Amino acid sequence: MHRTIFTTPVVNTLLRGLSLTILKLTGWRVEGSLPPDCPKCVVIAAPHTSNWDLPNTLIAGFALRMNLYWMGKRSIFAPPFGALMHWLGGIAVNREKSTNLVAASVDAIRAADGPLQLVVPPEGTRSKVRYWKTGFYHIAHGAGVPIVLSYMDYARKISGLGPVFHPTGDIDRDMETIKAFYAPFKGKNPDQSGH
């Protein structure tokens, strides 16, 4: 995978210090930690209801010493900001041709020669949705990696990492279990949440 802000020496250390300062000044708290046996995983980013979710996710990622990658619509990778978005851990997604997105993500996780935490918002968009997309589940199951249940609760100003979930292949039952974990958390725009 390409070099990111999380793997750039010196910059990583400086931005972790800045992130911890921002969290303290804004009253946010980060909970949990990435278990050592999860160097490669899919991280659910939920609820996803605001543009503020990305910077807040990056700040939490630095605080938790993670190596985050995330998927975004191709248009935000256009010049002049494309290189910056890639450096921030972005992977461009063509929503019109998303049929191979799961396979490409599985291949990227398998091919990575170091830690890789792929952040996937199950809503797939900041707009109001009724149902979660299941791509994150198929990516994790196909790559043989666990799903880390991360959350951002704007009501209580808490973000962090919850339990590690291992997909069983019974997607209906597994999705019920995952969604139950997220029930108490409120996004920035809670009326747009799909869980």
What is the structure's pLDDT at 94? Answer: 66
Name the residue with higher pLDDT: 131 or 107.
Answer: 107
Q: What angle do CA 173, 102, 78 make, to 5 degrees?
A: 130
- Summarised one tens digit per residue, pLDDT across range 144-186 is 999 999 999 999 999 999 999 999 999 999 999 999 999 898 8
In this predicted structure, the answer to whether residue 121 has a pLDDT above a threshold of 90 is no
- Summarised one tens digit per residue, pLDDT across range 11-33 is 999 999 999 999 999 999 999 99
Q: What span, in angstroms and rounded, lies between the C-alpha atoms of 49 and 148?
A: 19
The CB-side HSE value for 167 (13 A sphere, CA atoms) comes to 23
Residue located via tokens 């997220």: 182
What is the structure's pLDDT at 129? Answer: 47
Torsion 96-108-177-153 (CA) sign: negative
| pTM for the predicted model, two decimal places | 0.83
Torsion 176-139-127-131 (CA) sign: negative
For the chain, give every domain's residue range.
11-192
What is the structure's pLDDT at 101? Answer: 77
In this predicted structure, the answer to whether residue 195 has a pLDDT above a threshold of 60 is no
Closest to 119 measured CA to CA, from 148, 78, 76, 153: 148
